[in-house]
Structures are given as C-alpha cells and as structure tokens.
Amino acid sequence: MKYFKEKEFVCRCCGELPPVARENIVALVENVLDPARERFGKPIIVNSGYRCPKHNKEVGGVANSQHLRGEAADVRCTDNKRLAEIIEQNGKYDQLIIYPTFLHVSWKRSGVNRRAKLWSR
C-alpha cells in the first residue's frame, strides 16, 4: 500500500471494512492500483471500494458484486483512458470496466484473474 490508504476503501455508508475484504483490498492495491499509480504519475481518486450489502443495493450494484468482497474499486483520475491502458499493459487485473467518468477494476487473490476489459455506459 504505497499510494493508497485503507480508509479510502471503507464502505461509504457505514465506514466498515471487514477483515477478509481488507485483505482483498490490499491485494488489489498491491497488484493493480499501486503499479498503475506509479506509472501514471498522478493522483488516483477512489470513488468506491468495499461496499456493505445495504450500500451495494442502494447504489444499484449487482448482487454478486466484487465490491461486496473488497475485490473491486471504482477509481478516477485526470485521464481515465490512459489509466485503463496502463492497467491493461501491466496485465494484472480481473475485470476492467471503462465507464464514461470512472474505471471499475478488480483483482482476485484466489482463482484465475480473467483480464476482462469491458465498456459500459
């Protein structure tokens, strides 16, 4: 966790970050976000990290959202397109979903990381 702090990933409604979700967030940062931030060279803002089930419902997240496990974060910066390229080139991610104003990126500590790049409206 070089460029990010744990508190940036706590649930936006209740401030929670359960232990397993915390471990997953650390893995997401160390494998995906820190290396991307290093290459990008400018701040990355975390819109959303871990979500408790209640908050996930409130924001319209899918039922099995990786946010529920701390495996995903929504982030933004001054050049989301460039940041997406960097993440793709680094090659370590599970899902990378490019939204108009932010990127959703995830990482799994176990199983296969799919390197799935998608666009969403």
Residues in contact with Zn ion by the rule CB under 5 A? 11, 13-14, 52, 55
In the complex with Zn ion, which residue's Cβ is closer, 32 or 52?
Answer: 52
CB of 70 to Zn ion, least distance (A): 12
In the complex with Zn ion, which residue's Cβ is closer, 11 or 96?
Answer: 11
Cα separation values, 17 from 50, 59, 97, 100, 105, Å: 7, 17, 23, 27, 18
CB of 111 to Zn ion, least distance (A): 26
CB of 5 to Zn ion, least distance (A): 18
In the complex with Zn ion, which residue's Cβ is closer, 14 or 20?
Answer: 14
Q: What b/e string do you get for 62-94 counting C-beta neighbours within 10 Å, with b at 16 or more?
A: eeebbbbbbbbbbbbbeebeebbebbeeeeebb
